[in-house]
Structure 1
Amino acid sequence: MTVLTDAYTLSNGIKIPKIGFGTWQIPAGKVTYEAVTNALKLGYRHIDTAWAYHNEKSVGEAVRDSGLDRSEIFVTSKCPAEAKSYASAKKRFEETMENLDIDYLDLYLIHAPWPWAEWGTDYSKENLEVWRLMEEVYQSGKVKAIGISNFNVSDMKNIFEHCTVKPMVNQIRYFIGFTEPDITKYAEDNDLLVEAYSPLATGKILNNSELQKIAEKYSVSVAQLSIRYCLQKGVLPLPKATSEAHIRNNADIDFTISEQDIAYLDTLTTSR
């Protein structure tokens, strides 16, 4: 499945595999270890985790035990949303590196522009402190690329106006019917790759009758249609699965959605 090894190129020239394997809400320990192990066995080369997922140790262990050269696997982690000072961000980064134990990170993101319990609160000044740490770890070579997650347009502008190194990625919630057009356009206009977490809306769109009709037209599942849609929109999907069958099926997307159907999917509004 070549789509697993096809890559986008970030603004700093780093190659990033076009599909990532998401690990949000996968329990640490055996479940995460086996899921990541199966993903790598089936050809995935991009694994996404975060300090807040509490499964970095299991991800790192699976990467180390895979038998693959470290350079063959693209690993992303994230600085927790609650770390809003240089010192706390540095501490969490060091913990992430210790948890993963894989020498370096391919991509490191600020998980959100505000602590989760303070959704939407203005942390502009604090984000600049965290971004100072992001630039520092990037310049050190411990991280190959840096970026942000859940940042809206004003949050992005704040970073752009003060940074020395611009973010390369914005990872946002993105799926058919919920594509954050303003954020997506602003990010792409500023050379940020948009990554889609929850490209299946945490399963909420899988029983959508309109999507089922279009999926049937291509003899695929709604999950496969949703992942393919992201790719055709130039966005990097991060599907999550724990069963080997679902992990395999999520990458079996060797089909093309017609321009007409893409245009129709663009008009849908699905449940958030």
Structure 2
Amino acid sequence: MTKTITLNDGNIIPAVGFGVFQIPADGSTYEAVSQALKAGYRHIDTAAAYFNEAEVGKAVRDSGIAREEIFVTSKLWLQDYGYDNAKKGIQSSLEKLGLDYIDLYLLHQPYGDVVGAWQALEEAKEAGLLKSIGVSNMTPKLYQAFVSQFKSKPAVNQVECNPYFQQKELRQVMSADGVKIECWAPLGQGNSDLLSEPVIVQLAEKYGKNPGQIILAFEVAEGFITLPKSVTPSRIVSNLDIFDIAFTPEELDQLRALDKGIGNHNPEAPGIGEHLLANYKIHD
């Protein structure tokens, strides 16, 4: 059993997805996604820039699970921004995944010709190639700058988010548009300070869970979509085993109090868009 969330376009997304960032395309991604699907995940999150779309698509196709029961996300890389390039990038993702449509497609980074790329996503959505479309790594300032120029609102904004960085300002900014937050680094990228926070350890003992499960359950309780990643079979299973945790209002307040209001990644840092474009090439 997995909780679902209804997006602002009416589509339904599983609240916990399986992330494949940095899992190599040497059979490891295929194996990890296959295990995740067997464990009950129905939401897989990849990207053109992860270089493993093909293995994700093969695992989905080979799973024996009906296509409409699996929610697949991918993302357009900066190299393919601008209207014409984005149309080709979407087609490339569809071909690599070997799927007729993608459930959610995101603009991976908020730099360059974002508006032109978004227009291509909107058209692909109208054509049925993409079911939902969204953005990623947009701070409140970047969100307001770009989304005000869009014809339609994104369904999600995938950003760094965990108990140390709960994105309170961003949530307020996006609430009027009904845009959901998806958490990357939902466990703080394995931050040992976070995993050993006394309140998290105490709640893990109370509920018979591990600290990571408490963190993921908190994110789901706050209305986030969360994307834990693991290649360890036992961890793949345990990260989904969180839906029997029911925090009290006091416990939620204790967890909310862990927020430091700042993350490890600053999308507004000078020159970051140029750096990403120069250093991460997904094709010639």
CA distance in 2, matches of 1:136, 1:158: 21
Counterpart pick for 2:121 among 134, 137, 142: 134
Q: TM-score, normalised by structure 2?
A: 0.87
CA distance in 2, matches of 1:194, 1:139: 23
Counterpart pick for 2:159 among 172, 180, 188: 172
Amino acid at match of 1:167: P
Unaligned runs of 5+ in 2: 265-284
1:97 is paired with a residue whose SS is helix
Could you tell me whether the CA contact under 8 Å between 2:72 and 2:104 is conserved in 1? yes
- Aligned residues between the structures: 259
Which residue number corresponds to residue 230 of structure 1?
219
CA distance in 2, matches of 1:201, 1:232: 17
Which residue number corresponds to residue 120 of structure 1?
none
Counterpart pick for 2:103 among 95, 102, 106: 106
Which residue number corresponds to residue 119 of structure 1?
none
User: Counterparts in 2 of 1:203-222, with a 5 A limit?
Assistant: 203-205=190-192, 207-210=195-198, 211-222=200-211
Could you tell me whether the CA contact under 8 Å between 1:169 and 1:194 is conserved in 2? yes
User: Counterparts in 2 of 1:1-272, with a 5 A limit?
Assistant: 2-3=1-2, 6-114=3-111, 123=112, 126-205=113-192, 207-210=195-198, 211-253=200-242, 254-269=244-259, 272=264
Q: What's the offset of the Cα at 1:112?
A: 1.3
Where in structure 1 do 4 or more consecutive aligned residues deviate above 6 Å?
Answer: none
Could you tell me whether the CA contact under 8 Å between 1:131 and 1:159 is conserved in 2? no
Q: TM-score, normalised by structure 1?
A: 0.90
CA distance in 2, matches of 1:258, 1:198: 25
CA distance in 1, matches of 2:79, 2:250: 43
CA distance in 2, matches of 1:202, 1:261: 23
Q: Aligned-pair RMSD on alpha carbons?
A: 1.6
Q: 1:61 to 1:223 in 2, by over 3 A?
A: same
Unaligned runs of 5+ in 1: 115-122
CA distance in 1, matches of 2:150, 2:78: 19
Could you tell me whether the CA contact under 8 Å between 1:188 and 1:194 is conserved in 2? no
Q: How big is each residue's C-alpha offset from its partner over 1:153-203, in whole Å with a ceiling of 9 and x where there is no partner?
A: 232223432222211111111001111211122223311111111111111
CA distance in 2, matches of 1:266, 1:209: 13
CA distance in 1, matches of 2:256, 2:195: 18
Q: 1:191 to 1:185 in 2, by over 3 A?
A: same
The more displaced of 244-253 and 184-193 is 184-193
Could you tell me whether the CA contact under 8 Å between 1:177 and 1:265 is conserved in 2? no
Amino acid at match of 1:242: V
The more displaced of 212-221 and 175-184 is 212-221
Q: How big is each residue's C-alpha offset from its partner over 1:83-139, in whole Å with a ceiling of 9 and x where there is no partner?
A: 33223222222211111011110000001102xxxxxxxx4xx21111111111111
CA distance in 2, matches of 1:264, 1:209: 11
CA distance in 2, matches of 1:269, 1:158: 25
CA distance in 2, matches of 1:200, 1:132: 33
Could you tell me whether the CA contact under 8 Å between 1:56 and 1:99 is conserved in 2? yes
